[in-house]
Amino acid sequence: MGTEIHQQWEYKTLEPPKGLTKRETVDPTDELNRLGAEGWELAETISYDGGGTKLLLFKRPVSHE
């Protein structure tokens, strides 16, 4: 039997930027586009119990170059 290769992932988190009042979220499009260009894919959002997004979780395949 051949050796089975499993995909390996690396992860990164990003806290959505806050506006002046620290309550509203600022549009993170530029940062998301930068991360996408680096191969990161948004995998999940992690929210507060009371609502609102606390973290954005990204993943990308580990490069074995």
Residue range 3-51, pLDDT digits in tens = 677 889 999 999 877 766 556 667 888 999 999 999 999 999 888 777 7
How many whole angstroms separate alpha carbon 52 and alpha carbon 43?
A: 17
pTM of the model as a whole: 0.71
Token code pair at residue 63: 């490069």
Token code pair at residue 11: 């992860």
The confidence score (pLDDT) of residue 44 equals 93
